[in-house]
Amino acid sequence: MTGRRLVAVPRRDWNLTEQAVNLSGRSAIDWREFFPHHPLRSVSLLVLNGPNLNLLGVREPDTYGTTTLADIESDLDEQLPEVTFRFEQENSEGALIDHLHAAHEDGVDGVVFNPGGYTHTSVALRDAVAAIDPPVVEVHLSNVHAREDFRRTSRIAPACVGQMSGFGAAGYRLATRFLFDA
């Protein structure tokens, strides 16, 4: 962790280089910045889920399906083995904000974020998304625009690169693919 902090602007991690920097103990001329399409580039993504999404599979299956969060996460690992995933789920707003800050500090390349019910209420989460460098894609399993009126507004989406809504678990795949290709 300390070695990692020596690397300037580690938005794109190349593991081999990182190891070399860590071993040598030298601070970096970050040549990765000059070769962003190097084949050894590894991509790290945070998949962050908000309140009640730990109950996927049993929670309102008519709306959210029977796929569990663990299923979604292992599917992403299988679909994109090139990606180093960080999977987090929290029920509280502050803990979600802490994960967004950590993603920024650790140079994660992108964030797939389902803020659950906080989508429609949380100024603090929107501010956190606006404050960090990694691009964030908002994901919803259900089509929030086809449900109750209060779900049609997202406080967070305007700070994101885009929103995926109504594609069920496939929305997570599409969002990660987008961030991987970006």
Q: Does 91 bind ligand DQA (CB under 6 A)?
A: no
Please identify, among the stretches 36-44, 104-112, 121-129, 140-148, the one whose residues bind ligand DQA according to the rule CB under 6 A: 140-148
Q: Is 140 a catalytic residue?
A: yes
Q: Which of 38, 64, 145, 172 is catalytic?
A: 64
Q: Which of 141, 157, 164, 175 is the binder for ligand DQA (CB under 6 A)? A: 141
CA atoms 158, 160, 164, 168: torsion sign: negative
Amino acid residing at 132: I
Alpha helices (H) in the chain, listed in sequence order: 15-24, 61-64, 69-79, 93-105, 123-131, 170-181
Please state, in angstroms and rounded to a whole number, the distance separating the CA atoms of residues 6 and 2.
7
Amino acid residing at 180: F
Residues from 6 through 45 that contact ligand DQA (CB under 6 A): none
Please state, in angstroms and rounded to a whole number, the distance separating the CA atoms of residues 95 and 63.
26
Q: Which of 32, 140, 155, 173 is the binder for ligand DQA (CB under 6 A)? A: 140
User: Least distance (Å) from ligand DQA to the CB of residue 59?
Assistant: 8
Q: Does 65 bind ligand DQA (CB under 6 A)?
A: no
> 114 vs 176, which CB is nearer to ligand DQA?
114
Q: Are 175 and 137 in contact (CB under 8 A)?
A: yes
Could you list the active site residues?
64, 140
Positions that interact with ligand DQA (CB under 6 A) = 52, 114, 116-117, 119, 140-142, 144, 151
